[in-house]
Amino acid sequence: MKTISENTCFDGVQGVYSHASAACQCDMTFGLFLPREARDGPVPLLWYLSGLTCTHENAMTKAGAQAWAADQGIALVFPDTSPRGPGVADDEAYDLGQGAGFYVNATQDPWSPHFRMWDYVSRDLPDLLTENFAIDPDRQSITGHSMGGHGALTLAMNLPGRFRSVSAFSPICNPTGADWGRKQLSAYLGDDETAWEKHDASLMMCKAGFDGPILIDTGSDDQFIDLLRPETLAAAIAERRQPATFRLQPGYDHSYFFVSSFMEDHIAFHAQALWA
């Protein structure tokens, strides 16, 4: 593991590190905020999965999350959204390939050698974090934005017991039924749609649900709302009688001005579960 930068931030440390990922077979970069309390022992960890085109850096600099994580004594990890580098496949479109990993393990060419973001965020990076930093592996929660909200919800529902709580900002809720999803799931996983199901938050909600609290915020003026399909997840939550808070926030769009506006709420929500 290599330290790229470490900056004092809210009396903790905002670090950026890179490491050779066994899952992705390339070097991966991530951001990690450790609150002051991590000097004295392991702290809870909140995962933040980012959206299309993002790297480890966007949320780390624009979401205003460190202020609230420092208040709550919680670490934040900001993984990248895909494998990267000269030997890694890519596509000219912004929504496929590098910057658009969709948190799946690709089985199709040319993606399968490196695009294993599911394993990366569920196994590879967690192992690295608990080995190298003062992180309590028994206290983890997960959130994300857009494609990252999709990742957070699907990981949480597919890995029962791993995360104490899950939240999402304007998540892609039904990728098997929208242009943000069908294209990518087909490219990464092939045309057998049964392989797609575990990667659809609305389908997973119908099938499995989540054994913990859920918080979802989407802007009522989100310019991508037709691609996100929040109505499918809302209906699935209601049909399952899943305990959850699902909010349409009046006037907000898809930007980090929206994400930062509700970051305090989300971190307080996770803190309640993480410190219970």
Query: Residue 86 — φ and ψ, nearest 5°?
Result: -65, -35
Q: Which is nearer to its own copies, 91 or 253 (CB)?
A: 253
Tokens of 102: 């969709």
Residues that bind its own copies (CB under 8 A): 7-11, 14, 61-62, 64, 66-67, 219, 221, 251-253, 255-258, 260-261, 264
Q: Minimum distance from CB of 66 to its own copies (Å)?
A: 7
Catalytic (active site) residue 254: yes
Which amino acid appears at position 24 of this protein? C
Measured CA to CA, the distance from residue 198 to residue 202 in angstroms comes to: 10
Whether the CB-CB separation of 4 and 17 falls below 8 Å is answered with: yes
Catalytic (active site) residue 270: no
Pick the catalytic residue from 124, 200, 222, 270: 222
Find the length of the chain: 276
Q: Which is nearer to its own copies, 115 or 256 (CB)?
A: 256
Alpha-helical regions (H) of the chain: 57-62, 65-72, 117-119, 125-132, 147-158, 179-189, 201-207, 225-228, 230-240, 256-274
Q: Which is nearer to its own copies, 53 or 255 (CB)?
A: 255
In DSSP terms, which residues pair with 9 in a beta bridge?
12
Catalytic (active site) residue 217: no
Q: Minimum distance from CB of 179 to its own copies (Å)?
A: 24
Pick the catalytic residue from 56, 145, 254, 270: 254
Q: Which is nearer to its own copies, 9 or 134 (CB)?
A: 9
Q: Which is nearer to its own copies, 60 or 204 (CB)?
A: 60
Largest CA distance in the chain: 50
Q: Minimum distance from CB of 13 to its own copies (Å)?
A: 9
Q: With DSSP H G I counted as helix, E B as strand and the rest as coil, what are the percentages for the chain, rounded to 5?
A: 40, 25, 35
Q: Minimum distance from CB of 78 to its own copies (Å)?
A: 13
Q: Minimum distance from CB of 211 to its own copies (Å)?
A: 32
Whether the CB-CB separation of 202 and 121 falls below 8 Å is answered with: no
Catalytic residues: 146, 222, 254
